[in-house]
Amino acid sequence: MAVKKEFTKGFWEVLPPFRLVLGLCPTLAVTTSAENGIGMGLATTFVLVFSNLLVSMLRRFIPKKVRIAAYIVIIASFVVIVELLMQAYFFPLYKVLGLFIPLIVVNCIILGRAEAFASKHGIIDSIADGLGIGLGFTISLFALGSVREILGNGTWMGLHVMWAGYEPFTFMLKPPGAFVCLGTMLGLINFISLRMEARKGSK
Amino acid sequence: MSLGDFLLFIIGAILVNNILLHRFLGNCPFLGVSQRMDTATGMSMAVIFVMTMAGTITWIVQYYLLVPLRIEYLQTIAFILVIAALVQLVEIVMQKTLPALYKALGIFLPLITTNCAVLGVAIINISEEYDFVNTVVFSFASAVGYSLALVLFAGIRERFALARIPKVLEGTAIGLVTAGFMALAFSGFAGLASH
């Protein structure tokens, strides 16, 4: 049961980047379309799961004082693997995400999970945690990418979904739109959780 | 490059392609330390210092170590290690030689290792194939742009203490929306330099 809890908490309780306000740069930069959001999310999930696994396996051997440096080396190695794999098999996506693939190294979600979770828990729990948080992050990016793509371009996953003659709201695709859209969605999630708490309290 | 081009290059890096609001690098510390003006200025100084040094040193590492050895694919690992080591070194040296500055910047230095703007600038320098002088200038100008945005944003955020903000938007949410409007204002500089 504990494993299931570690897995599911990533989808609501600590849903990144809304509940854990970490990893904002890729969130804002690559979500100009739903597809890019998924690509970035899955690349991050891959690194997160494997770095959690390795950090958890090595947690008794890594000296406390150099742990951050050790985690960064582990994470950077997996990022290079992802980078090379994407160059080989998903080249168009690699081109679009560009700079933000190497920058997964400094995505604070991954270092944060290594430090806060994987260094204190067993292997199975750490994988569940990495998978849950990673997929939660993917869903968030997908949602944000969908909103921005539909409003800003009138398409969703490359298909036209808005009515003919829809005037695309290009503000959404520009940098300011990313900030405003993420802020509004965060407000919406706060609103939902406040309502849920109020309902729990009144029962 | 003529002097005019050079000036446009600098203005472009500071205002037009602002590293924070246009390229989306370094947003976590941007939202994290901008609650108060003094932490924002401290962070800005630390970023200017480290980013200029990191940009310069990673350029040297790339062209005098990675390229001759033909291991450019290790760029990410090499750069992040250089930055982490540099931050540690700066911290130790500063503590011994400039205790006053260390006291002011001390707590911000470890945070910079995970500031993606530093690694981002290092990678942009390489991918845009800047020469050495351009690298140093671009790293410094980007850091100045980062600081400008951070300090302005902290100034706005301090006023939030007096404003009545809807409960659901408190904290990060209103911060993001504000950053959006700042980015909109900065995009007004787009006509200054077409880069």
Instruction: Quickly count helices (H) and strands (E) in chain A.
Output: 8, 2
Compute the Cα dihedral for B74, B76, B81, B83 and give only its sign.
positive
Instruction: Please tell me which residue, B43 or A55, carries the higher pLDDT value.
Output: A55
Task: Confirm whether the ipTM is greater than 0.90.
Answer: no
pLDDT at B99: 83
Which pLDDT belongs to residue B106?
65
pLDDT of residue B5: 84
**Closest-CA residue to A104 (of A74, A146, A62, A128):** A74
Q: What number of other Cβ atoms are within 10 A of residue A26's Cβ?
A: 28
How much is the pLDDT for B193? 63
**B-chain residues within 8 Å CB-CB of A69?**
81, 84
A106–B81 CB contact, under 8 Å: no
> What are B117-148's pLDDT values in tens digits?
888 999 999 998 899 999 999 999 999 999 99
Contact B86, B65 (CB under 8 A): no
* Residues facing residue A159 across a β-bridge: A156
State the sign of the Cα–Cα–Cα–Cα dihedral A125, A144, B29, B171. negative
User: B113 to chain A: which residues are within 8 Å by CB?
Assistant: 68, 72, 106
- Residue A203 pLDDT grade (very low, low, confident, very high; cuts 50, 70, 90): low
**Quick check: A174 and B168 CB within 8 A?**
no
pTM for the whole thing? 0.86
Instruction: Tell me what pLDDT residue B140 has.
Output: 94
* Chain A nearest CA to B125, separation (Å): 11
Highest mean pLDDT among B12-21, B48-57, B169-178: B48-57
Asked if B187 and A106 come within 8 Å (Cβ–Cβ), the reply is: no
Using the predicted structure, report yes or no on whether residue A1 has a pLDDT greater than 60. Answer: no
Torsion of the alpha carbons at B182, B183, B187 and B192, rounded to the nearest 10: 70
**Residue B145 pLDDT:** 93
In this prediction, residue B64 carries a pLDDT of 92
CB A176 within 8 A of CB B183: yes
Q: How far is A103 from chain B (nearest CA, A)?
A: 7
How far is residue A93's CA from residue B118's CA, in Å, rounded to a whole number? 24
Strand, coil or helix: what is B24?
A: coil
Mutate to test the interface with B, among A179, A188, A193 (most CBs of B within 10 A): A179
* pLDDT tens-digit map of A22-42: 778 888 888 888 888 999 999
**B57-71 tens-digit pLDDT:** 999 999 999 889 988
Task: Please give the pLDDT value at position A126.
Answer: 92
Cβ neighbours of residue A180 closer than 8 Å, sequence gap 6 or more: B176, B177, B180, B181
B11 pLDDT above the threshold of 70: yes
A102·B169 Cβ contact <8 A: no
Q: Each residue of A59-114: pLDDT tens digit?
A: 888 888 788 888 888 999 999 999 999 999 988 888 888 888 888 888 888 888 88
Q: Rounded to an integer, what distance in angstroms lies between the CA atom of residue B69 and that of residue B73?
A: 11
